[in-house]
């Protein structure tokens, strides 16, 4: 298993009991930069924390790999809906910024017809709703 840091990728032990028996991670490319941290600079506690963080990241990656992509994409699209709603709820509404989020959401929905599974109709309805709110607020500000 590896851990990404600004220094680059570093191998991290998968077995916490065997961590002390294995060699420490190799220094990264930033080691030649004065003041840049490396794994050699970490205390045993900090190294253990880095290993724990790497293990948590691996677990999250595994859960994400088990989740249907359509669900993840739908979640991101609804995040764009929320972003648009935030910009529309400002006083005054930020129409330019909300339009970017609405158009991005629409791009996802339009580019994936029939591939968003059970979430497709919900996304289409949400897009229509936020587009209607945009039009109403645009007309009200004119």
pLDDT digits (tens, 9 = 90+) for 34-81: 666 677 778 888 888 888 998 999 999 999 999 999 999 999 999 999
Q: Looking at 66, 93, 109, which one is the last position of a domain?
A: 66
Residue found under tokens 């991005």: 104
- Please give the Cα distance from 71 to 65 (Å, whole number): 11
**Domain boundary at 25, 44, 66, which?**
66
Average pLDDT on 98-108 reads: 98
What was the pLDDT predicted at 27? 47
**CA–CA gap between residue 1 and residue 16 (Å, rounded):** 12
In this structure, the answer to whether residues 61 and 77 fall within a common structural domain is no
Domain residues for the domain of 60 are 2-66
| Secondary structure string (H, E, C) spanning 101-129 | HHHHHHHHHHHCCCCCHHHHHHHHHHHHH
> In Å, how far are 73, 79, 90, 116, 117 from 68, measured between CA atoms?
9, 17, 34, 10, 9
Residues 59 and 76 in one domain: no
Considering only CA atoms, which of 129, 133, 123, 127 is closest in space to residue 94? 133
| Whether this model's pTM surpasses 0.85 | no
- Give the percent of the chain with pLDDT over 70: 75
Q: Any idea what DSSP says for residue 42?
A: -
Query: Residues near 75 by Cβ (< 8 Å), separated by ≥ 6?
Result: none
Tell whether the model's pLDDT for residue 23 goes beyond 80: no
R_g over Cα of the chain: 23
Whether 13 and 62 share a structural domain: yes
């Amino acid at each position: 298993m590896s851990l990404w840091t600004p220094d680059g990728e570093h191998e991290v032990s998968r077995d916490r009991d065997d961590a002390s028996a294995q060699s420490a991670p190799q220094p990264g490319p930033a080691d030649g930069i004065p003041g840049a941290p490396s794994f050699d600079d970490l205390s045993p506690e900090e190294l253990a924390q880095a290993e724990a963080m790497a293990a948590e990241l691996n677990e999250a990656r595994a859960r994400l790999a088990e989740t249907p992509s359509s669900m993840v994409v739908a979640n991101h699209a609804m995040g764009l809906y929320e972003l648009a709603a935030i910009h529309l709820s400002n006083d005054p509404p930020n129409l330019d910024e909300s339009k970017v989020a609405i158009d991005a959401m629409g791009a996802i929905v339009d580019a994936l017809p029939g591939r968003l599974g059970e979430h497709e109709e919900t996304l289409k309805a949400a897009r229509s709703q936020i587009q209607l709110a945009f039009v109403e607020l645009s007309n009200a500000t004119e």
